[in-house]
Amino acid sequence: MKVSKILVFLALILFVASGMLIAANSAQAKQYLDYGNKYMKAKQYDNAISYYNQSIKLQASTEAYYCLGVAQYYKGDKAGALRNFQYSLKLNPSNAAAKAMVAKLGGAAGAAGGAGGPAQQYLVTGHKYLKAKQYDMAIKYYQASAQVGPTYQAYQFLGTAYYYKGDYENAKLAYEKSLQLNPNNPGVQSVLAKLGSGEQGEQRVSQQIGVHPLLLALLFAGSIAALFFF
């Protein structure tokens, strides 16, 4: 009976904590979105993109994806813009502005990155060199692909080539660019965590389970208190 009470108490703590976390994430996501809009208005597109990505990481929303697409469009990254307009439309199929941008960019993006496009050809050639472990040549072709039509795939494989070459600094930079174009790529997120994580202990654990360090500490404290309470 005592064990069941403890489990109920812990479940209640987790339920309340998860609700607090969702609310906190939502508020923070909105704040990042507002910051992004300010930089967007000032035509500081790189800063705007950074804040929009932060907003999406906390809470994916049709508005954040659309704004990210607009910032990328004005920066000249039409492939990335199209991808995020599509994400926005997926979350809200009635988003007329996103529909219009997808229709506008769909044909152009297909021509640049289609099966016969130069960006895709460079990418395929890069794969051949990567498979042959000729990393310098692979890097050359992945860079060419990214220059012609910047896609998250080009930067992801560029990062992989640098990684296998042992150039972890440039690998990290390439992976970060890939993640900017496609924030929901768990493979790239995992590699970046390995390359860039200098955090240890409680903060590392909190990141792995997606809980803020302070909230994690409160949860552990509540668990211990439950043992004495019952």
pLDDT computed for residue 123 by the predictor = 87
Q: Output the CA–CA distances (angstroms, integers) from residue 97 to 19, 44, 74, 81, in the order listed.
A: 32, 22, 15, 13
- 230 inside domain: no
% pLDDT > 70, the chain:
70
Confidence label for 131 from pLDDT (cuts 50, 70 and 90) = very high
Q: How many residues does the chain have?
A: 230
Q: Rounded to whole angstroms, how far apart are CA atoms 148 and 62?
A: 28
**Computed from CA positions of residues 204, 206, 212, 217, in that sequence, does the dihedral angle turn out positive or negative?**
negative
- Per-residue model confidence as pLDDT tens digits over 36-79: 999 999 999 999 999 999 999 888 888 999 999 999 888 888 88
Q: Output the CA–CA distances (angstroms, integers) from residue 78 to 5, 75, 85, 148, in the order listed.
A: 56, 8, 10, 11
Tokens of 207: 């990141």
Domain check: are 15 and 101 in the same one?
yes
Tokens of 97: 């502005």
Domain check: are 19 and 96 in the same one?
yes
Total count of domains within the chain: 2
Domain check: are 1 and 103 in the same one?
yes
Domain check: are 95 and 29 in the same one?
yes
Where does a domain end: 84, 111, 138?
A: 111
Asked if 162 contacts 178 with a C-beta cutoff of 8 angstroms, the reply is no
Q: How many CB atoms are located within 10 Å of the residue 167 CB?
A: 16
Tokens of 158: 């560029």
Average pLDDT over residues 119-131: 89
Q: What is the pTM of this model?
A: 0.44
Is pLDDT of 132 > 80?
yes
CATH value at residue 70: 1.25.40.10
Q: Rounded to whole angstroms, how far apart are CA atoms 107 and 114?
A: 10
pLDDT computed for residue 203 by the predictor = 38
Where does a domain end: 91, 111, 131?
A: 111
- 122 inside domain: yes
Where does a domain end: 111, 145, 175?
A: 111
Tokens of 100: 């219009």
3-state SS class at 152 = helix
Q: Rounded to whole angstroms, how far apart are CA atoms 70 and 222?
A: 45
- Per-residue model confidence as pLDDT tens digits over 148-197: 877 888 899 999 999 999 999 999 999 999 888 888 778 888 888 888 75
- 62 inside domain: yes
